[in-house]
Amino acid sequence: MLSNLKGIFRPRSIPEALALLEKNSGSILVMAGGTKLVKSPNDIVQELVDIKDLGLDYIKEESGGIRLGATITLQKLVESPIVNEVANGVLSKAAGMCNRSRMIRNVSTLGGELVTAGPLSVLYCALLILQAQIRIVGGEEFALPINIFLNKKGLGGGLLVETLIPAFKETTVAALVPIGTESTDALACAGARVTFQKGSCQNVKIAITGCEKIPQRLHEAEVVLEGKPLTGPNIEAAAETAHQLYRPISAPLASEEYRKEVSRSLVKKALVQCLESAEDQL
């Protein structure tokens, strides 16, 4: 594997890493944890840029939110008290679900997962409802909202350096409800996040995995709840709208019909969990 690999660079700064990537583009790749790359049948790659010494393995809490460095491992996200505190720990939960094996989570990184995960990714779903921003440096430095990053996916030879989770109001709650997590990714997973203001829902975000390319944001279902109290009938109405909007795919492991069928109850459960958290916390 990586049969033509001739060398591995270990730069100590981001500019140094970028210069290496630019100079050798075409035959060079970034390596983070390496869990995907090491067994890659890629015989074009001749050099790797190991980014583990760039000081990007951090979790920082600041007034604007939480900054997560690209090389922080999935297991550190699972264990971090800071990340567990945010929005009912949905990001920690999602990081734990990226891979059942702790031996992989101990090495694979948030950046690597963001670049490689697919339409079933519970992590993408969590980041969508948390409204994460992805910071990339290349020729220039820019931050992309997670939905735009996922739709584009190409880094244009740049480096993904950071994920920002914007700060939450104390009255914000969130939930992730997966189905079928026995072996790999969940067959489908719904995520919901709601901020309560004087008893009514604000800034509602609902997303679900198992679609063509990336998890689907269910905007019209969010609108059903916006400005209204999170009551049983309102939850039912939002879940029904979500079910109507959802465009699932047929692979892998579950059919389109199955995913469509369970979507109503997954969204409903996610909203009920938000309600229960609100009753406990607020």
Ligand X SMILES: Cc1cc2nc3c(=O)[nH]c(=O)nc-3n(C[C@H](O)[C@H](O)[C@H](O)COP(=O)(O)OP(=O)(O)OC[C@H]3O[C@@H](n4cnc5c(N)ncnc54)[C@H](O)[C@@H]3O)c2cc1C
8 A C-beta contact, residue 141 and residue 101: no
Q: Which stretch binds other proteins (CB under 8 A): 13-21, 80-88, 98-106, 153-161?
A: 98-106
How far is residue 199's CA from residue 60's CA, in Å, rounded to a whole number? 31
CA distance 231 to 211: 28
Residue 106 or 147 with smaller CB distance to other proteins: 106
Q: Residue 159 binds what, of other proteins, ligand X, none (CB under 5 to 8 Å, by partner type)?
A: ligand X
Q: Give the chain's count of helices (H) and strands (E).
A: 11, 12
Chain residues 94-113 in contact with ligand X, contact rule CB under 6 A: 98-99, 104, 108-109, 111-113
Binding partner at 30 among other proteins, ligand X, none, C-beta below 5 to 8 Å by kind: ligand X
- Measured distance CA(169)–CA(171) in Å, rounded: 5
- Three-state secondary-structure class, residue 201: strand
Are the C-beta atoms of 73 and 49 separated by less than 8 Å? no
Residue 1 binding other proteins, by CB under 8 A: yes
Q: Which is nearer to ligand X, 171 or 184 (CB)?
A: 184
CA distance 14 to 17: 5
- Pick the stretch among 45-53, 127-135, 157-165, 269-277 that binds other proteins (CB under 8 A): 45-53
CA torsion angle 178 106 126 66 (round to 10): 150
Contact partner, 5, from ligand X, other proteins, none, Cβ < 5-8 Å per class: other proteins
- DSSP category for residue 199: T
Residue 16 sits in the site that holds other proteins (CB under 8 A): no
Q: Which does 202 bind (CB under 5 to 8 A by kind): other proteins, ligand X, none?
A: none
Among 29, 188, 189, 278, binds ligand X (CB under 6 A): 29
Eight-state DSSP code of residue 215: P
> Crossing angle of helices 232-245/256-281, nearest 10°?
150
Residues 55, 71: contact at Cβ < 8 Å? no
| Interaction mask 161-200, ligand X, x per CB under 6 A | -----------------------xx---------------
Per-residue binding letters, 103-132, with other proteins (x by CB under 8 A): xx-xx-------------------------
What's the closest the beta carbon of residue 107 comes to ligand X, in angstroms? 6
What is the rounded CA–CA span in Å between residue 192 and residue 130?
9
Q: Smallest gap, in angstroms, from Cβ of residue 181 to ligand X?
A: 10
- R_g of the chain computed on alpha carbons: 19
The option from ligand X, other proteins, none interacting with 278 (CB < 5 to 8 A, set by class) reads none
Beta strands 65-69 and 159-166: pairing type? antiparallel
Binding partner at 116 among other proteins, ligand X, none, C-beta below 5 to 8 Å by kind: ligand X
Distance of CA 252 to the CA centre of its chain: 19
Binding site for other proteins (CB under 8 A): 1-3, 5-8, 34-35, 38-39, 48, 50, 52, 75, 100-104, 106-107
Which stretches of the chain bind ligand X, using CB under 6 A?
A: 29-37, 51, 70, 98-99, 104, 108-109, 111-113, 115-117, 121, 155, 159-160, 184-185
